[in-house]
Amino acid sequence: MSAIFSISATSIYYFFRADLLKDQDERLQTLAQAAVPSLQTIKTKGTKDLNKDLPWRNLFDSQQSLEWFDADGKLIAREGTNFPNFPLAKSASTNRLNEGSPLVEQHGNIRSVSIAVYTDSLNKKILQLEGYIRVNESTKEFDQRMGQLQLGLEVGGVIVLTLSSVSGMFLTLLVIQPIKQSFQNLKQFTADASHELRNPLTVIMTTVELMESHSEQFSADDVRKFKTISTATQQIRHLVEDLRFLSHTDALTDTNVLDYPKVPLDEILQDLADTFETDAQNKKLSFESYLSTDIHIKGDTRQLKRLFANLLENAIKYSRTGGVVKLFLEKHKLFAVVRVEDTGIGIPQEYIPLVFQRFWRAETARLQAKEGLGLGLAIAQAIVQRHLGKITVSSKVGVGSCFQVHLPLA
Ligand SMILES: Nc1ncnc2c1ncn2[C@@H]1O[C@H](COP(=O)(O)OP(=O)(O)OP(=O)(O)O)[C@@H](O)[C@H]1O
Ligand SMILES: [Mg+2]
């Protein structure tokens, strides 16, 4: 935008300048033409009758001067103010003059137009050079006006750019507002729906549990159906809890980040390592943990367990038999750094920015593990954010993945 404006402003400036200079040159040339008859008068009678020679006087103004030269280029008379201190015309320019075209020169702040004056010789066939007339004009006023134009364009440019940026921002806000509002409504709906679904789900769960506890009163087929209802209800409850958790995180701002108590991260991870080692072995994977001791952070134990459980669950879920899952904990400057590495299916590079999006799952992941909603990493990221940390991922298809979490030390 500013580049376009600069180009337009520069073009306007140079267009005006060229136009004004052309006007000025034409005026000077007219004055020089008007002074042609007086050359003969000066050559024959000297300068005493010059003031009576009116045609050029009518055109003359205070910023200008007129000079008469003989055929050899020698100054023979001058009138006015602002005389240039350079000789008539030198070498190349004299040739041009003698060809009959006016010669325009600019020296400092004086602009000159010179013309050659010819008269018919006696036999009327050969033109004879009589002398030269040079008209000069100070360009100080012109330069001042051009300076004002430049300043006007610059100030105007700044005003136009400011106004267009402000109106651009205003329009963007105007356009974005409804989108923001509907996004906000969607978040609010998710928060409300997940809240409202909790009670009916609890009723279903307790009823099914009650029926299961009196299984002797029902047929074996009915009991199997209760089991199916119970599993499905559990899944819905998990989803509802996850959505509730994410809605709650969305509502948090930097100013209301919770102040958590100091917790031993090494012990939390050791507990998880014990649980997931068994899960890994069940899937014929080896599990290794390398945990530095005495590492404390400010956090919520339940959430931290959820965060690292989600990462370990993925590492196991997206690995094939014979793979290795590793869990590391170490201190790095002011942070506790946790790494979960696997030798699993990996994530294609172009999908890496998507993995933390809600409900996103890679096609290969769907084939490898049917179960999953695509919420585990979104929740992991939300927990990391609540703890003022950072989560990153690096991965290579067919080689494995590494999720790294930085959390500030207590
Ligand atoms: N360790 C990993 N190896 C390969 N792909 C992974 C790994 N972790 C995550 N992904 C990819 O990122 C997607 C999102 O992971 P996320 O944990 O959010 O969802 P999910 O595991 O599919 O389902 P769930 O909601 O049960 O966790 C996965 O579906 C998978 O494509
Ligand atoms: Mg997952």
The verdict on 174 and 132 lying in the same domain is no
Comparing 6-15, 65-74, 309-318, 358-367, the range with the smallest average pLDDT is 6-15
Question: How many angstroms is it from 314 CA to the middle of ligand 1?
Answer: 6
Could you give the percent of the chain with pLDDT greater than 70? 91
The CATH number for 233's domain is: 1.10.287.130
**Structure-model confidence comparison of residues 101 and 235, the more confident one:** 235
Contact 307, 383 (CB under 8 A): yes
The verdict on 175 and 298 lying in the same domain is no
Q: Which residues have beta carbons under 5 A from ligand 2 (an ion)?
A: 314, 376
Q: Which ligand is nearest to the CA of 375?
A: 1
Please tell me the residue having the least CA distance from ligand 1 atom 12: 355
Could you tell me where the DSSP H helices lie in 70-219?
91-98, 140-213
Query: Does the pLDDT of residue 377 top 90, yes or no?
Result: yes
DSSP SS3 for 304: helix
Could you give the percent of the chain with pLDDT greater than 90? 40
**Domain limit, last residue, from 90, 121, 138:** 138
Q: Exposed, middle or buried by CB within 10 Å (0-12, 13-18, 19+), for 318?
A: buried
**Domain limit, last residue, from 235, 251, 267:** 251
At residue 93, the pLDDT reads: 52
At residue 91, the pLDDT reads: 42
State the Cα–Cα distance between residues 15 and 400, nearest whole angstrom. 65
Q: Which of 262, 269, 246, 253 is nearest to 408 (CA)?
A: 262
Q: Exposed, middle or buried by CB within 10 Å (0-12, 13-18, 19+), for 265?
A: buried
Q: Is the CB of 347 under 6 A from ligand 1?
A: yes
Contact 376, 355 (CB under 8 A): no
Give, to the nearest 10 degrees, the angle between helix 301-317 and helix 376-386: 150
- The per-residue pLDDT for range 157-168, each reduced to its tens digit, is 889 889 988 999
The range of the structural domain enclosing residue 400 comes to: 258-408
Question: Which among 313, 377, 395 is the best mutation to test ligand 1's pocket, defined by most ligand atoms within 8 Å of the CB?
Answer: 377
The verdict on 94 and 183 lying in the same domain is no
The CATH number for 277's domain is: 3.30.565.10
At residue 390, the pLDDT reads: 97
Q: Is the CB of 397 under 6 A from ligand 1?
A: no
User: How far, rounded to the nearest angstrom, does the alpha carbon of residue 288 sit from its chain's CA centroid?
Assistant: 45
Mean pLDDT, range 395-405, rounded to an integer: 97
* Per-residue pLDDT band at 120 (split at 50, 70, 90): low
- The per-residue pLDDT for range 346-364, each reduced to its tens digit, is 999 999 999 999 999 998 8
Question: How many angstroms is it from 402 CA to the middle of ligand 1?
Answer: 12
The identity of residue 154, as a single letter, is: E
DSSP E strands in 250-399: the ranges are 262-264, 286-291, 296-298, 324-332, 335-342, 390-396
What's phi and psi for 208, nearest 5 deg?
-65, -45
* Per-residue pLDDT band at 34 (split at 50, 70, 90): confident
The verdict on 37 and 123 lying in the same domain is yes
At residue 122, the pLDDT reads: 58
Question: How many angstroms is it from 189 CA to the middle of ligand 1?
Answer: 25
What's phi and psi for 405, nearest 5 deg?
-120, 130
At 149, list the tokens: 């134009």
The verdict on 153 and 130 lying in the same domain is no
- The per-residue pLDDT for range 242-291, each reduced to its tens digit, is 888 888 887 776 555 568 999 999 999 999 999 999 999 999 999 999 99
At 245, list the tokens: 């958790």
Contact 98, 116 (CB under 8 A): yes
At 94, list the tokens: 């004299």
Beta-bridge partner residues of 290: 328
The verdict on 132 and 152 lying in the same domain is no
At residue 11, the pLDDT reads: 84
Vertex 274: Cα angle to 268 and 279 (nearest 5): 125
The verdict on 235 and 277 lying in the same domain is no
Q: Is the CB of 362 under 6 A from ligand 1?
A: yes
Please tell me the residue having the least CA distance from ligand 1 atom 13: 361
**Structure-model confidence comparison of residues 102 and 50, the more confident one:** 102
Beta-bridge partner residues of 65: 80, 136
Q: Is the CB of 374 under 6 A from ligand 1?
A: yes
The verdict on 9 and 114 lying in the same domain is yes
Question: How many angstroms is it from 236 CA to the middle of ligand 2?
Answer: 16
**Domain limit, last residue, from 251, 281, 307:** 251
The verdict on 129 and 157 lying in the same domain is no
The CATH number for 90's domain is: 3.30.450.20
Mean pLDDT, range 9-20, rounded to an integer: 84
Q: Is the CB of 345 under 6 A from ligand 1?
A: yes
Beta-carbon contacts of residue 74 (< 8 Å; ≥ 6 apart): none
Q: Is the CB of 382 under 6 A from ligand 1?
A: no
> What total number of domains does the chain contain?
3
Comparing 37-41, 171-175, 298-302, the range with the smallest average pLDDT is 37-41
Beta-carbon contacts of residue 130 (< 8 Å; ≥ 6 apart): 39, 40, 43, 71, 117, 118, 119
Q: Are strands 324-332 and 286-291 parallel, antiparallel or unpaired?
A: parallel
State the Cα–Cα distance between residues 144 and 156, nearest whole angstrom. 18
Give, to the nearest 10 degrees, the angle between helix 36-45 and helix 2-34: 40
Mean pLDDT, range 368-383, rounded to an integer: 90
Beta-bridge partner residues of 70: 131
The verdict on 34 and 122 lying in the same domain is yes
Q: Which of 58-72, 79-93, 257-271, 396-410 has the highest mean predicted lDDT (pLDDT)?
A: 396-410
Q: What average pLDDT does the structure give for the chain?
A: 87
The verdict on 101 and 227 lying in the same domain is no
**Cα four-point dihedral sign 89, 94, 97, 103:** negative
**Structure-model confidence comparison of residues 90 and 22, the more confident one:** 22
Question: How many angstroms is it from 179 CA to the middle of ligand 2?
Answer: 30
At 97, list the tokens: 């003059």
Contact 392, 381 (CB under 8 A): no
At residue 145, the pLDDT reads: 83
The verdict on 266 and 394 lying in the same domain is yes
At residue 92, the pLDDT reads: 42
